[in-house]
């Protein structure tokens, strides 16, 4: 999703800083977007790394108008089997990291800036067997709402996008890790929850990117503190 979002902003002529762990394919992703993109190594689990990443972006671009928190990790399984290290990893990436990256950027965001957090449908409703992930994304949704109120007097908007299952490498990881040797069956089980029945499909990263793009437009000025579901109606009810 982060790649699709970066690609969309770069196509509009924005300067785009891609931030990810050093040693990922970050440099290649930035090169693919051309000379208006930069790779910024960051470990969002560490507040000092978030501070350094923001400083690097300011040195390169001179300003920050949009911040998108798209990093995320998945964990599923019985709550009784969750180790403390698993809890910490999910919370550090999905919630703590988003907060501290925002904190680092806040002194530099101008009036009219937009923050978008990629949450999840699992931040809106509970998913059996995914308690830790739900807790992290539910926390991100309420963090979004609290910051929207706090930053409204400064003219800074904060919103959350809450996708369902998106056709990204995370789905492949989930199916391989938790599919009990039947990744295709795992995917079918996910789609079975969709109200579209036989025509159900996964969301695309580009569909999420279009929503993020809209939320950062001046036309979206009234939209702040929202948690917008992109989930084919999965969270609408039963």
- Alpha helix stretches (DSSP H) within 74-130: 84-91, 97-105
Q: 227 near 162, Cβ under 8 Å?
A: yes
How crowded is residue 1: how many other Cβ atoms within 10 Å of its Cβ? Answer: 23
- End-to-end CA distance of the chain: give it in Å, rounded: 28
Q: Which of 183, 175, 164 is nearest to 236 (CA)?
A: 164
Alpha helix stretches (DSSP H) within 92-179: 97-105, 131-151, 169-178
Instruction: Give the helix/strand (H/E) hosting 16.
Output: strand 16-20
- Residues 6+ positions from 67 with CB-CB distance below 8 Å: 101, 102, 105, 109, 113, 114, 115, 116
Active site residue 133: yes
Of the candidates 9, 156, 132, 11, which has an alpha carbon nearest to the alpha carbon of residue 70? 9
Catalytic residues: 133
């Amino acid at each position: 999703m982060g790649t699709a979002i970066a690609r969309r902003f770069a196509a509009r002529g924005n300067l785009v800083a891609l931030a990810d762990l050093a040693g990922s394919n970050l440099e290649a992703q930035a090169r693919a977007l051309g000379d208006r993109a930069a790779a910024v190594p960051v470990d969002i689990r560490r507040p000092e790394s978030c501070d350094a990443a923001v400083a690097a972006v300011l040195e390169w671009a001179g300003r920050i108008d949009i911040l998108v928190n798209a990093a995320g990790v998945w964990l599923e399984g019985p709550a009784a089997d969750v180790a403390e290290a698993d809890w910490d990893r999910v919370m550090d990436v999905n919630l703590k990291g988003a907060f501290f990256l925002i904190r680092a950027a806040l002194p530099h965001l101008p009036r009219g800036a937009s923050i978008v957090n990629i949450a999840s449908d699992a931040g809106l409703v509970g998913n059996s067997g995914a308690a830790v992930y739900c807790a992290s994304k539910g926390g991100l949704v309420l963090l979004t709402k609290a910051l929207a109120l706090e930053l409204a007097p400064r003219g800074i908007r904060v919103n959350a996008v809450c996708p369902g299952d998106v056709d990204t490498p995370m789905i492949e990881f989930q199916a391989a890790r938790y599919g009990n040797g039947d990744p295709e069956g795992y995917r079918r089980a996910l789609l079975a929850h969709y109200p579209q029945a036989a025509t159900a499909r996964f969301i695309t990263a580009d569909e999420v990117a279009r929503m993020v793009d809209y939320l950062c437009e001046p036309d979206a000025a009234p939209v702040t503190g929202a948690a917008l579901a992109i989930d084919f109606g999965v969270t609408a009810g039963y």
